[in-house]
Homo-oligomer: A and B are copies of this chain.
Amino acid sequence: MMNKNQIATAYFELAKYICNALSEIDGLSTFVPDKWEREAGGGGVTHTLENGRIIEKGGVAFSAVHGEVSEAMKKNLNMKGEQFFATGVSIVLHSRHPRHPIIHMNVRYFELDENTWWFGGGIDLTPHFIREQDAICFHQELKKYCDAFDSTFYPRFKPWADEYFFQPHRGESRGVGGIFFDHIGAESGHSRAELFHFCEGLGRLFPIVYGQQIEANPIVSQPSDEELLWQQIRRSRYVEFNLLHDRGTKFGIYSGGRTESILLSMPPQASWRYCFEPEPTSEEGITLNFLRNPPDWISLK
């Protein structure tokens, strides 16, 4: 039976594994580790890659922290307990080329006092330009992986992502969704070790699905000014999601977490224009329409 320290160690190894796999995809830059300690207990290693060939700015953050449940945590996370332990790996990659997507992954494990534990996590894809076949491929991979473990997971976790990654103030989804789950514990019918292996496998799947998206969109030319502008606009929506809505970001900021690790998800650059509205028939307009009226991708195949 796995304990929390074994899970933390395995997550640390997972982060290193993912860094190596992503560095191979990038082919130019590698991740630089930055170790930090948390005064109130624990710490982490934040790996960053800047100015790569494929990845313009990417972060792979591992952390394992513990301590007393603060008032802010009780209020913001509705946590009923005194002592907590949390470990996880969190990733955001901002691709250099507008034809390559932004992608995010997170797996985490949580313990409250002696007897409460759960896993959470997810993967979601945010293309600057949405192509149906890429979104379908992405969801097929996630479904295949989930189904092999528990056929109830994808049908539960896919709509959970749709709900979580929706931006009410824009009336848009952040991207083409993916899977999202939280508070998955023993009541799922799976042991702690089994759920850990599900999360670890999801982490190992991550560089594979990112690589698929890159390969499916080979770069044949430099991006146009229009493509770059649209990328910057899409990135600004990513900023809005993470600073206005993302629970992890908000909780981290409000509870005094390590700012540079929490805001690793910020893009290298983002643009805002007043009432920017692309032509409905342009590729930008088609992407926006997908975000405003998200299809059930898997049923389109």
Contact: A266 with B236, CB < 8 Å?
Answer: yes
Per the bound structure, the CA–CA distance linking A239 and B270 in Å amounts to: 10
Contact: A269 with B268, CB < 8 Å?
Answer: no
- How many copies of the shown chain assemble into the complex? 2
Known: A170-B259, A239-B239. A274 touches B244 (CB 8 A): no
Contact: A260 with B274, CB < 8 Å?
Answer: yes
**Which of the residues B50, B240, B274 comes within 8 Å of A48, measured between beta carbons?**
B274
Contact residues in B for A127 (Cβ distance below 8 Å): none
Known: A243-B244, A268-B273, A272-B267. A253 touches B50 (CB 8 A): no
Contact residues in B for A137 (Cβ distance below 8 Å): none
Contact: A50 with B259, CB < 8 Å?
Answer: no
A275 at interface by CB-CB < 8 Å: yes
Contact: A271 with B269, CB < 8 Å?
Answer: yes
A residues 261-285 near B (Cβ < 8 Å) are: 262-264, 266-275
A169 at interface by CB-CB < 8 Å: yes
Q: How distant is A49 from chain B, measured CB to nearest CB, in Å?
A: 9
Contact residues in B for A239 (Cβ distance below 8 Å): 239, 243, 270
Closest chain B residue, CB of each to CB of A59: B274
Contact: A269 with B169, CB < 8 Å?
Answer: no
Contact: A253 with B169, CB < 8 Å?
Answer: yes
A residues 38-60 near B (Cβ < 8 Å) are: 46, 48, 50, 57, 59
Q: For A34, A46, A259, which residue has the most chain B Cβ atoms within 10 angstroms?
A: A259
A287 at interface by CB-CB < 8 Å: no
Closest chain B residue, CB of each to CB of A46: B274
A232 at interface by CB-CB < 8 Å: yes
Interface string of A229-264 (1 = CB under 8 A from B): 000100010011001100000100100100110111
Closest chain B residue, CB of each to CB of A269: B271
Contact: A268 with B264, CB < 8 Å?
Answer: no
Per the bound structure, the CA–CA distance linking A266 and B235 in Å amounts to: 13
